[in-house]
Chains A and B, each alone.
Chain A
Amino acid sequence: MSQAVQLDQAEIDLFRENVRKFMEKEIAPHYAQWEKEEILPREVWSKLGENGFLCVDVPEQYGGFGASFRLSAIVVEEASRAGFGGMASNLSVHSDIVAPYILHLGTEEQKQKWLPKMVTGEAVGAIGMTEPGAGSDLQGMKTRAEKDGNDYVINGQKTFITNGQHCDVIVLACKTDPNAGSKGITLFTVDTSLPGFARGRNLEKMGHHCADTSELFFENVRVGAEEILGGEGRGFANLMNELPRERLILALGAVAACEGMLERTVVYVQERKAFGVSVSQFQNTRFKLAELQAQIAVNRAFTTQCTNEYDEGKLSTVNASIAKLTTTELQGKVADECLQLFGGYGYMQEYPISRDYVDARIQRIYGGTSEIMKEIIARSVVGK
């Protein structure tokens, strides 16, 4: 992390350009179809890997570039900007949540076992926290890992798991001591080829269709103690440490999605005529777009600051929460107001703004709802 390969701006721009070209050439022509199929073909993961777009900041000794987080974020940003919200979510979970968990908390064996495969796309990662009865309230989870000799036996159920159908490795949160509250939670790396693991159906969602999302079932899944990630009973503390990055990547994706929507809307209102003039000539259009642009610029500055802080190891939970709250709320607003400027066309699936709208809605919920963000911010302002 600290000794990330430093790239100059020209190299960063070149990387972004390559990601953009990849999105245009390899993703855009098929994306609507994958949305209909409600899953990405497995080859997309290998292609992303071949092109060096997965887990970009994993060190070279595990197959990555050893670049900074900034570069990894570019992949999610460009997918988001292009209007591929579902795929951006697949990628965030894999590259910016699961890989860092393993990299920061894993033993050498865990890193060797999973990271090189995650970089190539051979292994897809998922994170298993949410349960049917425990979303925002993580401590309410029921999945148990009971010690049995040197092993742990896992029983329970997770839901809303992104990459649930494709995943090969899950960073799974379990209770190892049900009486110890937050200190009774432990993370494990679980190989999905183990007996007793089963995937539920691919859940039908409002949007993000190509981001496969599933229930996962664990019935007497036996793992060795070496699969503990980051120490027994340390799960909650570890989650807390990793959450800023998870929230930052969601915020960066949100800002890029806003920029993409605004760009497409500007083109549309300039082309579209009503009452004999271009829609861009109406004061309502101009002022709405100006307001949105102003808010996007402010959010872009704040997320850039947060990215710098993260790269310096200084990003606080509160700043990450402010970023996640304001950018995803903005994304909802941009999607809603831009769609309105498309009139009836905005309600038609063939117009990307229609997908942007439904894709945006989950951003205020997953990775910590807006309400949880507010509570975190409130604690820093007025205490518990």
Chain B
Amino acid sequence: MRQPHPTPELNLLEDQLRRFLVRDIAPHYHQWERAGIMPRELWRQLGAQGFLGADAAQAFAGAEAGYAAAACIIQTISAAGFAGLASAVAAHNEVAIPYVMDLGTDSQRQRWLPGMISGDIVGAIAMTEPSAGSDLKAIRGRAEKIAGGWRLNGQKTFITNGIHADLIIVAMKTDPDAGAKGISLFLVGADTPGFSRGRKLDKLGQNIADTAELFFENVEVGEDALLGGEGQGFACLMNELPRERLSFAIAALGACDAVLQDTLAYVQERKAFGVSVAQFQNTRFRLAELHARVEVLRAFVRQCIDRQSRAELGTADVSIAKLVSSEVQGELVDVCLQMFGGYGYMKEYPISRAYVDARGQRIYGGTSEIMKEIIARELLGR
């Protein structure tokens, strides 16, 4: 219903996913959040139902359902209030799979994609390091050429799907003196000797999405592990970032829809001073403002989805989408939580989780400040 361009196929997909979320996710979600991780088996269930890599090519076991289907999956999970799950799925569907699909050779695609689509292989993307977040060029992880391949050394952090991942797409410096042109991407299987996972990190929210540190100690990989060409890492990342950032905007929109709907129901039910909370002008005006902002946002995100479907989405446009959507989401969850009064602070109310889940959105995938800088460059140059 809330999709940008509803078609019978998309409606069917959304309906099927919603039923899956209600039946197989909702009863356990709180428990998984407490555990700080979702069960590994869930990935195979998602795969079996066709929710992984929906737009990947049929030649590699994908459904070629188009980008709109991929977008619909993220939005539907998020609109059910499962932001952590949406993040985990987005890291796999909207980042790892497209990297392999877009940048991989046929043999790399053949090796990894069918398993990623079935859920047997969970993907993660490893860029951030302890001292290099927004400033990606400052990464220190090194890949040195050895006979027949590469030797990787380094440490990555804040890696979504870090505990479950079977395939890590890792950014390393292949030429430390070449700046952005010295970065390359590698496909590393988690069973490669020298690779290890650090502890699962305790986060403010999105607890179900396992986030971890990853260590590479003399990890030796073959020539065929290089993804997208030597020294091409930064350029590849730049090409793939629009899709990744758009997925955050789509997730933000889904979360806004869920929270607003929930809040509308609550303020109509809840009584204070003898009337429904929905009768107070403050409630009415604040919710009206939020609704207006969400609808404007929806139009922009819809436009971005169309452009992404035609492979025409620009960096500045997607930065606007990511900036505005995550800021709107942050404001919306804050204002809505306030409407719930003391109940909003209790974990048993979904608004409480929506609030902490939302806070990551203005940080990961490029902070709001980085988005502003990208937009400013478009306006003012460097």
Question: In the complex the two chains form, is A365's CB within 8 Å of B345's CB?
Answer: yes
Min CB–CB distance A79 → chain B (angstroms): 19
Question: In the complex the two chains form, is A273's CB within 8 Å of B131's CB?
Answer: yes
Question: In the complex the two chains form, is B347's CB within 8 Å of A206's CB?
Answer: yes
Min CB–CB distance B112 → chain A (angstroms): 27
Does B319 have its Cβ within 8 Å of any Cβ on chain A?
Answer: no
Does A133 have its Cβ within 8 Å of any Cβ on chain B?
Answer: yes
Query: Which of A137, A204, A344, A362 has the most chain B CB atoms inside 10 A of its CB?
Result: A344
Question: In the complex the two chains form, is A274's CB within 8 Å of B204's CB?
Answer: no
The listed residue (A340, A364, A366) touching B362 by CB distance below 8 A is A340
CA distance A336 to B346 in the complex (A): 20
By a CB distance below 8 angstroms, the chain B residues around A340 are 362-363, 367-369
Question: In the complex the two chains form, is A343's CB within 8 Å of B133's CB?
Answer: yes
List the B residue with the shortest CB-CB distance to A275: B135
The listed residue (B138, B334, B345, B362) touching A206 by CB distance below 8 A is B345
Bitwise interface map of B from 236 to 263 toward A, beta carbon under 8 Å scored 1, else 0: 0000000000000000000000000000
Bitwise interface map of B from 339 to 382 toward A, beta carbon under 8 Å scored 1, else 0: 00110111110001001100110111001110000000000000
By a CB distance below 8 angstroms, the chain B residues around A205 are 345-347, 352
Min CB–CB distance A135 → chain B (angstroms): 5
CA distance A8 to B41 in the complex (A): 66
The listed residue (B158, B201, B356) touching A358 by CB distance below 8 A is B356
Does B273 have its Cβ within 8 Å of any Cβ on chain A?
Answer: yes
Does A354 have its Cβ within 8 Å of any Cβ on chain B?
Answer: yes
CA distance A135 to B330 in the complex (A): 25
Does A346 have its Cβ within 8 Å of any Cβ on chain B?
Answer: yes
By a CB distance below 8 angstroms, the chain A residues around B344 are 365
Question: In the complex the two chains form, is A130's CB within 8 Å of B360's CB?
Answer: no
List the B residue with the shortest CB-CB distance to A362: B345
By a CB distance below 8 angstroms, the chain B residues around A208 are 345
Does B45 have its Cβ within 8 Å of any Cβ on chain A?
Answer: no
Question: In the complex the two chains form, is A364's CB within 8 Å of B338's CB?
Answer: yes
Contacting residues of chain B (270-284) with chain A, CB-CB under 8 angstroms: 271-274, 280, 282
Q: A340-B363, A340-B368, A357-B359 are in contact. Are A347 and B345 (CB under 8 A)?
A: no
Question: In the complex the two chains form, is A369's CB within 8 Å of B338's CB?
Answer: yes
Does A4 have its Cβ within 8 Å of any Cβ on chain B?
Answer: no
List the A residue with the shortest CB-CB distance to B202: A349
Question: In the complex the two chains form, is B272's CB within 8 Å of A137's CB?
Answer: yes
By a CB distance below 8 angstroms, the chain B residues around A347 are 203-205, 359-360, 363-364
Min CB–CB distance B267 → chain A (angstroms): 12
CA distance A348 to B211 in the complex (A): 10
By a CB distance below 8 angstroms, the chain A residues around B352 are 205-206
Does A361 have its Cβ within 8 Å of any Cβ on chain B?
Answer: yes
CA distance A350 to B202 in the complex (A): 7
Does B134 have its Cβ within 8 Å of any Cβ on chain A?
Answer: yes
Does B337 have its Cβ within 8 Å of any Cβ on chain A?
Answer: yes
Give the size of the chain A interface in residues (CB under 8 angstroms). Answer: 43
Does B155 have its Cβ within 8 Å of any Cβ on chain A?
Answer: no
Bitwise interface map of A from 261 to 297 toward B, beta carbon under 8 Å scored 1, else 0: 0000000000001111000001010000000000000
Question: In the complex the two chains form, is A365's CB within 8 Å of B341's CB?
Answer: yes
Question: In the complex the two chains form, is A135's CB within 8 Å of B341's CB?
Answer: yes
Bitwise interface map of A from 327 to 338 toward B, beta carbon under 8 Å scored 1, else 0: 000001000100
Question: In the complex the two chains form, is B367's CB within 8 Å of A343's CB?
Answer: yes
Question: In the complex the two chains form, is B346's CB within 8 Å of A137's CB?
Answer: no
Does A165 have its Cβ within 8 Å of any Cβ on chain B?
Answer: no
CA distance A350 to B338 in the complex (A): 27
CA distance A207 to B346 in the complex (A): 9
Question: In the complex the two chains form, is A361's CB within 8 Å of B135's CB?
Answer: no
CA distance A205 to B342 in the complex (A): 10
By a CB distance below 8 angstroms, the chain B residues around A274 are 133-135, 138
Min CB–CB distance B84 → chain A (angstroms): 12
The listed residue (B204, B341, B364) touching A354 by CB distance below 8 A is B204
20 contacts between A and B (CB under 8 A): A130-B342, A137-B271, A204-B346, A204-B348, A205-B347, A274-B133, A274-B134, A343-B363, A347-B203, A347-B363, A349-B201, A349-B204, A354-B204, A361-B337, A361-B345, A361-B355, A362-B345, A365-B338, A365-B344, A365-B345
A-B complex: 8 closest residue pairs judged by Cβ atoms: A349-B202, A204-B347, A137-B272, A274-B135, A354-B204, A344-B158, A160-B342, A206-B352
Q: Which residues of B contact A (CB under 8 A)?
A: 128, 131, 133-135, 138, 157-158, 201-205, 271-274, 280, 282, 330, 334, 337-338, 341-342, 344-348, 352, 355-356, 359-360, 362-364, 367-369
Q: List 5 other contacts, CB 8 Å, given A340-B367, A358-B204.
A: A206-B346, A347-B359, A349-B203, A361-B355, A371-B282
Q: Which residues of A contact B (CB under 8 A)?
A: 130, 133, 135-137, 140, 159-160, 203-208, 273-276, 282, 284, 332, 336, 339-340, 343-344, 346-350, 354, 357-358, 361-362, 364-366, 369-371, 374
